[in-house]
Amino acid sequence: MDPRQRPLLHRRLGVFKALAWSLVAVLILIYAWLQLVRHGEFKQLAMQQAVKVRPIAAPRGLVLDRNGYRLVDNRRALHLVIQREDLPSRPEVVEALAQALDLDPASLARKIQSYRFAGKGRPLVLKENLDESGIALAERVRARFSFLSVDVAPRRVYLGDELAGHVLGYVGEVDDELMKAKPGVFRLGETIGKEGFEASGNDKLKGVDGQKRILVDQLGTEVANFGQTDAAPGRSLYLTLDAGLQKVMQDAYGEEAGAAVVLDLRDGGILAMYSSPSYDPNLFLNRLSQDMVDRYLNNPTRPMVNRAIQGIYAPGSTFKLLVALAGLEKGVITPQTVIYCAGKKNFYGRDFRCDKPTGHGGLSLVQAIAQSCDVYFYEVASRLDVDDIYATAEKYGLTERTGIDLPREKRTRIPSRAWKRKAVPKDPKWYAGETISVGIGQGAVGVTPIGLARFYATLATRGKLLTPHLFYGFRGDQTNALEPGPVPPAKETPLDPRMWAVLDEGLHEVVQSGTAAANPFIREVAREAPFVGKTGTAQVATFVDKSHYARQAKHLKDHALFAGYAPHDRPQIAFAVVVENAGFGSTAAAPIAAKLVKYWFVDRLKNPLPPPRGRMVDPFAPAPEVAE
């Protein structure tokens, strides 16, 4: 039967046609809903994922020493990378590349895989901070693997290496903890100061990031730039540090552990600060290798600790000046008080021995300081209460942090009755015998080198409580010259002139005729640049028989200290030197102080460093060889 004569078929086809057009109509309605009604919403979504606002990192400011020598520079670092859109996929290519670069093929393949699927924008870094041989290698390898590229990124360079590691610190990527602790302050991946002045001076150095509006594709690669606001570079700044003095200090320590600080008495600026062993901040810019972790973080000598502000040392005899001051101010002694030393003295049924077993005989205060007689100060302490000593320490700022502009400064520990209640709850009572030990800077007394230096600065200035600081001022953008910053406030706690005179005289005699005078080098320096100071030898362990001393392990030897100021008549600097496990203050610490004084007042003026004008001179570069 001819289908054209079939009414049923026609009916059905009519229905099908109607259904076909209804399908088209329904689809049109769906698209009208998406494209007309919800157009705005989807347009917004498309914009959001394609147009990104990306920050432009502002270069950090440079850090200069007080004379303008660069301590921290920015250099361009080259990294061998693979851009995300160029990641190779063929396993044999990955293997060959790993071989060419001496990388582990399995871990490289894993890395490539993870970059393919996670994260956006950042290229995969194969080799970072290429040096000359690295660049040569990169060029050779790139000839074979065209998908490799060399990325240029700014990099911090610490010119002195270990010279001022603790002072300068280092930078790194902001971590999650900090991001969470201070929401809205940092952006992901931002470079911030992690340690030292890089951390405490972060706001001064960091500048203002710019931003750009860019079009990105699905992989996050920049396709077009819609315009940008440029980054405002961070301002370069001067530290109060003197690179030359710092170098002398570093050299003076050599392999010894310890810390030293030199303060400028005009404003509290830190002329030099060194903690030994030091670390090289440059090494922290690369991702930490196991080698680094071993060398620094797990090292028993704890090079990451800035001993100058975080090391707590028994001050030993350097503390006697404070005890003397407490005695004078409390009136239990006068400048003329003479006390007899028989080599030992019994207090509360226990013998306290002097350094000189045969005894010093009758001593005035000046002589007692010069000879560092223990019995004299046992006696002074026995006439005082521990809280009297604490009160004097508090008055002259020794119980608080100095307020230096470095992170994580520790507080000195001056014992008192209240302190013992809190610190030793099992035995909260203060025993009078303990005060005797405090009298010679032993027992629970612990000071930081910076705190000790500031106390001697207070003595040198006859009662000025300076705030030690590193920030000197910004570098003028046009002039390139120092624009001095504000000097942190100093507190005045005037010393009685008569009391001061006797302490000053005592310190003078230490170097002229006392404990430090035996050393010919010290005498020689003191002739050219008269400096004064007090030796200290702080016990780490008590020995029954001193003849065993030399045979004792190095780590049980006494800490050597020397603190003082110079020049004697019109003091310009104050200093504190601690050498760990080195024995006597007079033989281990005082010579270091003498070297510092000699450089500052003699050598520096005789052979000045070349001026850092124009293209700045790097004082740490090896001297150019002169043809004969």
Residues within window 550-579 making contact with another protein, judged by CB under 8 A: none
Contact flag: residue 53 with another protein (CB under 8 A): no
Binding piece for another protein, criterion CB under 8 A, among 31-39, 249-257, 384-392, 546-554: 31-39
Pull the structure tokens for residue 617: 């001179």
CB 565 within 8 A of CB 457: yes
Site string for another protein, 169-208 (x = CB under 8 A): ----------------------------------------
Residues within window 406-465 making contact with another protein, judged by CB under 8 A: none
The half-sphere exposure of 276 on its side-chain side, counting CA atoms within 13 A, is: 21
> Could you give the CA distance from residue 181 to residue 533 in angstroms, rounded to a whole number?
45
Contact flag: residue 118 with another protein (CB under 8 A): no
- Residue from 218, 290, 358, 607 binding another protein (CB under 8 A): 218
Binding piece for another protein, criterion CB under 8 A, among 8-16, 258-266, 566-574, 599-607: 8-16
Nearer to another protein, 35 or 113 (CB): 35
Regarding beta strands 237-239 and 63-64, do their DSSP bridges make them parallel or antiparallel, or are they unpaired?
Answer: parallel
> Could you give the CA distance from residue 471 to residue 405 in angstroms, rounded to a whole number?
8
CB of 227 to another protein, least distance (A): 17
Count of residues that bind another protein according to CB under 8 A: 42
> Could you give the CA distance from residue 620 to residue 243 in angstroms, rounded to a whole number?
9
CB of 81 to another protein, least distance (A): 21
Site string for another protein, 489-518 (x = CB under 8 A): ------------------------------
Contact flag: residue 110 with another protein (CB under 8 A): no
Pull the structure tokens for residue 259: 């810390």
Nearer to another protein, 42 or 340 (CB): 42
Nearer to another protein, 32 or 556 (CB): 32
Contact flag: residue 28 with another protein (CB under 8 A): yes
Whats the size of the chain, residue-wise?
628
Nearer to another protein, 117 or 180 (CB): 117
CB of 409 to another protein, least distance (A): 52
> Could you give the CA distance from residue 393 to residue 389 in angstroms, rounded to a whole number?
6
| DSSP string computed for 355-380 | SSTT--EEE-HHHHHHHT-HHHHHHH
CB of 14 to another protein, least distance (A): 9
Contact flag: residue 147 with another protein (CB under 8 A): no
Bridge partners, residue 352, by sequence: 345
- The single residue listed with the structure tokens 């929401």 is 183
- The single residue listed with the structure tokens 């007090």 is 534
Binding piece for another protein, criterion CB under 8 A, among 75-83, 212-220, 397-405, 546-554: 212-220
Question: In terms of Cα–Cα distance, which of 319, 486, 338 is closest to 390?
Answer: 319
Q: Which residues, at least 6 apart from 101, have a Cβ–Cβ distance to it below 8 Å?
A: 80, 126, 127, 137, 141
For the chain, the helix, strand and coil percentages under 3-state DSSP, each to the nearest 5: 40, 20, 40
Question: In terms of Cα–Cα distance, which of 514, 495, 501, 500 is closest to 369?
Answer: 514
**Which residues form the interface with another protein (CB under 8 A)?**
1-4, 6, 8-10, 12-13, 15-17, 19-21, 23-24, 27-28, 30-32, 34-36, 38-39, 41-43, 45-47, 49-50, 215-219, 223
